[in-house]
Amino acid sequence: MTNIKLKYFDFDGGRGEPVRIALHHGGIGFEDDRISFQEFMETRESARFNSVPTMDIDGTGVTQTNAMLRYVGKKAGLYPEDDLQAFFCDEPMEAIEDLLHRIVTTFGLEDDELKTAREELVAGWLTTFIKGLDELLERGGGEYFADSRLTVADLKVFIQTRSLASGTLDHVPTDIVERLAPALAAHRERVAAHPVVTAYYAAR
């Protein structure tokens, strides 16, 4: 049996959450090592690339969220076997990583500086990525991004669009996805109601 330990922040979101959901769906036992932001800051320099999530597989440490999602997705039946569909799965996952890098640059800002940065984000990169993801969803058939079924790409995009709707990002309208890409908003609700997702949160 493979022993897996996933280290990530202690909240139901962010980069680590899709990995947790996929592990749970695959019936893959794992240690869910949830840490506080303070714990992360105290140990950050000891982590490869100074970031989380990190994963330990049978004593071997690995990083990079999308690599984890591909690994777990294959084991859990949430990653396409067809090469082109796998590409279609990878593309939105990489787009979300690019978007997250843009969002993170606004963390730590305050007051007017934060407001200005977030408004520029909304008018620029956030709009660009939401529209781009909407195009990828349409290419996939309108319901899922790849393989005409739920994959790890859907989990990753769902976690991000749910975050945007939650109001946790000040100065980012909670209805931005609905306004720019109604189909992507419908995707969020579809994935939230999917048995893979509901079973995970019921177990939480």
Last residue of a domain, one of 77, 98, 127: 77
pLDDT at position 60 is: 97
First-residue to last-residue Cα distance in the chain: 23
Whether residues 111 and 140 share a domain: the answer is yes
Amino acid at position 74, single letter: K
Whether residues 106 and 176 share a domain: the answer is yes
Given a cut of 90, is residue 140 above it in pLDDT? Answer: yes
**By C-alpha distance, which of 160, 152, 153, 127 is closest to 139?**
153
pLDDT at position 1 is: 74
Last residue of a domain, one of 57, 77, 97: 77
Whether residues 97 and 175 share a domain: the answer is yes
Whether residues 15 and 115 share a domain: the answer is no
CATH of the domain at 181: 1.20.1050.10
**By C-alpha distance, which of 196, 202, 204 is closest to 26?**
196
Q: Residue 127 pairs with which residues in a beta bridge?
A: none
Last residue of a domain, one of 60, 77, 94: 77
Boundaries of domain holding 169: 83-200
pLDDT confidence bin for 204, thresholds 50/70/90: confident
Helix (H) or strand (E) holding 148: none
The pTM for the full model equals: 0.97
The H-assigned helical ranges of the chain are 16-25, 37-43, 65-76, 83-104, 111-121, 127-139, 152-166, 176-180, 182-192, 195-203
Q: How does pLDDT run across 59-108, given as a tens digit for each residue? A: 999 999 999 999 999 999 999 999 999 999 999 999 999 999 999 999 99
- Residues belonging to the chain: 204
CATH of the domain at 23: 3.40.30.10
Whether residues 91 and 190 share a domain: the answer is yes
Given a cut of 90, is residue 157 above it in pLDDT? Answer: yes
Angle of helix 182-192 versus helix 152-166 axis, rounded to 10: 110
Whether residues 134 and 164 share a domain: the answer is yes
User: What Rg, from alpha-carbon coordinates, does the chain have?
Assistant: 17
Counted domains in the chain: 2
